[in-house]
Structure 1
């Protein structure tokens, strides 16, 4: 399957998709166990650059935020080291940790090269309570009935297959055009989701959440530095993700003719 939207947009990188399924694709790559810690986004380099298929399942996903982001439950609360540790790590680290002794022990077990980051915290949230509240009550939680979450090139979608998330990888110019097109289909002013989330969550659970709405919105991603750090250049420093549910993609297709994507301004700028 080809993407008419991506062709008109002239994307530097072809889009990819997320599909929830009970069938493991032949030849797919992915983590073999949940030992260690690897970022979901590092595997997506293989999909974007090499057009390979990557598969995740709950018992091979080592990142707790990744478990949450792909719809494998609430990894922050259900997995080790637990929500108290994560609330400290995602905010100000040892400074605001409720159990400083336990958190210091957690930090001491980290490799020296990254220990300072854990002690200081990632500073994604300004304090422990804010981080805890987000993970406990605000992040959308899904428990996929399907066993696998698969990322693959858009062009590998089979006829009749429906993706759960269509992910465009766009530079600022391409993003501007895509947002202008999206805005043209709406009556409201705020038309895009920019959640406080990890990169995998902005292409996973937040898109799942939008898919349940009558008028879904796209989700802007790669807004977190941890996710960017896992990406290869030039995506690492120059690109964003813009992910949409299938329902919104069909709306795009229904309105693409005579749209901003097909208009004289963008055509002249693409030359």
Structure 2
């Protein structure tokens, strides 16, 4: 499927369709069982034309398992949810349970992980605020065997129905996508920028929007760690813009006759380097 939006806003990279499936395509990239990896690295590869697959044993990291819909995989974090809450905030070095877990994990976890485990990533001020955030994350248990990332151009809408479609957009393109998301609707908040991991802003958060009475698009890739992992593949100027499938079709139908065919946008697009 070719996207009218992608052409009208001049996307550099393929829109990525996220699907649930019971079979894995033969050519799909996949993390090795039990090995760490960033889901957004696979997303970057899908944006560059490849297909990636994940299952309940190959989601890469604990946040990735949550983001893709494999339940509360933070329970599998060393020391469980409590240690994860300290990891994301102030660190585990300052409480007894955290120090005990650090000793049991030892060198097997790697230097960078242990530094963050002990000292904290500092993304949230306190462990209590992390636990409050975890209560808001719309965790789910998908009923399919696999989550797939595929270039939208390889999707046949007669046979496949993606959960989400995700664009990679620079500031000009993001501006256009925000306007288009609001173009045919009442209100002015049809796009949201939540605080979450990069994979969660393309996975479970758009999944949740699809089930709401008024679904919104979700801006993501504001996750600093994920940005670090994908910069070498994509460059530094992009954010993600994820939509539930039905919202994507709605926006596709609104391209013709919109501002995307008018002089201000076309002149801006023409002036891009």
- Return the TM-score normalized by structure 2: 0.91
Q: 1:265 deviation in Å?
A: 1.1
Instruction: Tell me: CA distance 1:184–1:112, structure 2 relative to 1, closer, same or farther (3 Å).
Output: same
> Which deviates further from its counterpart, 198-207 or 11-20?
11-20
In structure 2, the partner of 1:42 is 41
How far off is 1:219 after superposition?
A: 0.5
What does 1:14-25 correspond to in 2, within 5 Å? Answer: 14-25=14-25
Q: In the alignment, which residue of structure 2 is the partner of 1:125? A: 124
Partner of 1:243: 242
Shift of 1:26: 2.1
| Partner of residue 62, structure 1 | 60
Instruction: Rate the CA distance shift 1:98–1:174 in 2: closer, same or farther, 3 A.
Output: farther
Asked if the contact 1:88–1:97 (Cα under 8 Å) also holds between the matched residues in 2, the reply is no
RMSD: 1.9
Between the aligned partners of 2:93 and 2:103, the Cα distance in structure 1 is: 14
Change (3 A) 1:147 1:79: farther
1:85 aligned residue: 83
Runs (5+) with no aligned partner, structure 1 = none
Aligned equivalent of 1:3: 3
Moved over 3 A (4+): 78-81, 95-98, 106-110, 232-236
Question: Structure 1 23/96 Cα, relative in aligned 2: closer, same or farther at 3 Å?
Answer: same
Unaligned runs of 5+ in 2: none
Q: Quick one: distance in 2 between partners of 1:139 and 1:81?
A: 20
Q: Is the 8 A contact 1:20 1:148 kept in 2?
A: yes
Structure 1, residues 96-141: CA drift from partner, whole Å, max 9, x if none? 6472432542674442345333222111211011112222x21101
Q: Alpha carbons of 1:71 and 1:119: their partners in 2 closer, same or farther (altered >3 Å)?
A: same
Give the Cα separation in 1 of the matches to 2:141 and 2:233.
34
Question: In structure 2, how many angstroms separate the alpha carbons of the residues matched to 1:265 and 1:132?
Answer: 46
Alignment of 1:1-271 (within 5 A): 1-35=1-35, 37-49=36-48, 51-77=49-75, 80-94=78-92, 97=95, 99-105=97-103, 108-109=106-107, 110-135=109-134, 137-160=135-158, 161-233=160-232, 235-271=234-270
- Tell me the TM-score normalised to structure 1 length: 0.92
Given that 1:107 and 1:119 are in contact with CA atoms closer than 8 Å, whether structure 2 keeps it comes out as no
8 Å CA contact retained: 1:66, 1:201: yes
Contact 1:15 1:166 (8 Å CA) reproduced: yes
Count matched residues: 268
